[in-house]
Structures are given as C-alpha cells and as structure tokens.
Amino acid sequence: MIAQGAALCYHQAMRVLLVEDQEKIASFVRQALTEQGFLVDLADNGDDAYELAQQGCYDVIVLDIMLPGRDGLSILRHLREQKNPVPVILLTARTGLNERLEGLNLGADDYVTKPFYAEELIARIHAVVRRTSGHQQSVLQIDDVVINLITREVRRGDQQVELTAREFSLLEYLMRSPGRVFPRTQILDHVWGYSFDPSSNVVDVYVRRLRQKLDPTGERQLIEAVRGVGYRIRPPVKDASGP
C-alpha cells in the first residue's frame, strides 16, 4: 500500500520518500521525521516505492534494502540508470561490507545500519541533501530575525524563540522570499504538503502563533497580512542614512 498521495514538485518543507516494510520501524521513523517538519510519503513494498520515486519529487529517499517486490538495490540501480539524481540513504539490517559497497557503487549517497537512532538518520538526511544540492546557505535573516536551517534555532535580537516544527517550516518558507505575497492555498501546499478544505483557517492560526512568539507586544510585526490574498514577510528596512 502507499500512504499519502504522490508528492508535489513545488514545496518548501523537505519531502522524504520512506520505503520500509516493517510496520513498527516505518511508524517510528515516519513520526520522528514528521515531528521535525519533514513531509513523508510511505511505501511498504518495492513496486510501489519505485512508482513513487519515478512520479514524485523528493529531496531524499530513505530506502530499505530487503523489501517485498523489487528489492532496494534494484530500485536504486534503475533510478541511477535513468539518471535520477535524488539522494538515497539505504537502510540495512546486515553489517557485511559487500552489501554496503554494492549499494555505494550503485549510487547510494549514504547508508544506515539497523537498529539506529532517529536523530542519526535525520542528521544524515540533512547532510546528504546539503551535499548534493550545492546549497551552502544555512542562515536566513530579515532585520533582527535570524533562523538557522541546520540547528533549527530562531532568534529575534538577543532573544531565542521556541517554535514547533510546523511553525519553523512556515517561517522559513516566508523568509526565503521577503516582500513576496503568498496566497493561503499556496502556503498550505508548500508547508503542509497536502490539500485542506479551502475554508480551513489553519494558516491564519499558525501565523497568529508566529506573530505572538516573534513579537508578543505587537509593535514590530514581521509577518504582514495582505487583505484578500495571504501573507508576506515585511521587506527588510533599508538604511536611509547612506549617500
């Protein structure tokens, strides 16, 4: 079976295809990734996984080797033969060197041996995506608001701001394009990753939470509402003292 729909190709939160046939492991990993703000599609057999990998648009594939249907190495081999560059992290219960070498030689970007800690897998996902994407920027800043994309820390001035994973993804999405107005429906697609009822007010709820956390007094709001359209990050204040 395939959990959740095929991936949208335009998204901000990192999208992961998790391929794992052991229900307990899949549930554990999926929950850990979701809590960190990842958008996760799940496949529990090799045939569905291969279909999703071809049709979807993923930042990384976490791929178990031993699967019903196509095995993980077969999926990896066919993706690379098709010049699909998506980063792949292999999951394996075996500790033998030959299998790991075969996976790396086929084009895997990394591997994790079971059992493993969720924190280790998350760190490896971030590492391979940074390495393969070529994006070196790890900090975004608008005026005195700074977010670190690696540590996921947010500061306003000298104050640290505690955000949930979803709040962080929303703020990151808006801060990547200061001044650009994002419709609510577009924010839903990019940050939540699946369709909501158009009448849903979840975006407004999360924007209110962000505003309260970033500026409890309401005097220096970073996020502006554009009536009838959506939201934007207030463009940076330009220094008017220059020539």
Helix axes of 97-106 and 72-81: crossing angle, nearest 10 degrees: 20
Residue range of the domain that includes 78 = 2-133
d(CA 50, CA 69) in angstroms, rounded, equals 10
- Asked which of 112, 133, 154 is the last residue of a domain, the reply is 133
* pLDDT tens digits along 106-128: 889 898 888 888 888 988 898 88
Has residue 120 been placed in a domain? yes
List beta partners, residue 64.
91
d(CA 46, CA 44) in angstroms, rounded, equals 7
In terms of domains, do 76 and 180 share one? Answer: no
Question: What is the model's pLDDT at position 162?
Answer: 94
Among the residue ranges 23-32, 74-83, 138-147, the one predicted with the least confidence is 138-147
* pLDDT tens digits along 184-230: 888 887 787 655 565 678 899 999 999 999 998 888 889 999 988 89
- Asked which of 99, 115, 133 is the last residue of a domain, the reply is 133
Question: What is the model's pLDDT at position 242?
Answer: 45
Whether residue 156 contacts residue 147, with contact meaning beta carbons closer than 8 Å, is answered with: no
- CATH number of the domain residue 222 falls in: 1.10.10.10
Number of independent structural domains in the chain: 2
Mean pLDDT for the stretch of residues 50-68: 90
In terms of domains, do 125 and 151 share one? Answer: no
Predicted structure pTM score: 0.58
* Residue 108 DSSP code: -
Residue for token digits 């994006």?
A: 135
Question: What is the model's pLDDT at position 22?
Answer: 93
Amino acid at 179: G
In terms of domains, do 129 and 16 share one? Answer: yes
Confidence of residue 2 (pLDDT cuts 50, 70, 90): very low
Mean pLDDT for the stretch of residues 169-180: 87
